[in-house]
Amino acid sequence: MASKQLRLLGLHATIFANRSRAGVEFSVPVGGLRRASHDHGQLVPTSPLPAIVDEPLDEAGRALARRVGELSWYHTIDLGHGVATPGFYDHRPILDHYQLPLRLDGLRVLDVACFDGFWSFEFERRGAAEVVALDIATARELDLPYGRRDRMSEAELERRFGAGFAVAHEVLGSRVKHVHCNLYDLTPELLGQFDLVHLGDVLLHLRDPARALHNLRRVTRGRALISDCIYPDLDRHGDLPLMQYDGGRGDNIWWRFGAQALQRMIGDAGFERVTEAARFRYGPRGQPASMWHAVFDARP
Q: Which of 18, 15, 21, 14 is nearest to 40 (CA)?
A: 18
Question: What is the per-residue pLDDT for 251?
Answer: 67
Q: What's the CA gap between 257 and 284, in Å, rounded?
A: 20
| Nearest by Cα to 77 from 44, 42, 17, 118 | 118
Provide the pLDDT for residue 45. 35
Give the pLDDT confidence score for residue 46 in this predicted structure: 54
Q: Are 176 and 117 in contact (CB under 8 A)?
A: yes
CB atoms within 10 A of CB 33: 20
CA 15/CA 153 separation, integer angstroms: 23
> Burial level of 185, CB count in 10 A (0-12/13-18/19+)?
middle
Taking only Cα atoms into account, the Rg of the chain, rounded to an integer number of angstroms, comes to 18
Dump pLDDT digits (tens) for 20-31: 333 333 333 333
Q: What are the residue ranges of helices labelled H in 69-202? A: 118-125, 146-150, 154-157, 163-172, 188-191
pLDDT digits over 133-148, tens only? 999 999 999 999 888 8
Q: How many CB atoms lie within 10 A of CB 102?
A: 6
Work out the percent of the chain whose per-residue pLDDT is above 70: 83
pLDDT score at 43: 30
CB 262 within 8 A of CB 236: no
Distance CA 98, CA 164 (A): 24
Other C-beta atoms lying within 10 Å of the C-beta of residue 124: 22
- Best CA proximity match to 9, nearest among 161, 150, 120: 161
Report percent pLDDT > 90 for the chain.
78
Q: Is 205:9 a contact under the CB 8 Å cutoff?
A: yes
Q: What is the pLDDT of residues 139-185, one digit of tens each?
A: 999 999 888 899 999 999 999 999 999 999 999 999 999 999 999 99
Distance, in Å, from the CA atom of 223 to the CA atom of 195, rounded to the nearest integer, reads 6
Give the residue ranges of the chain where pLDDT is below 70.
Answer: 1-47, 250-251
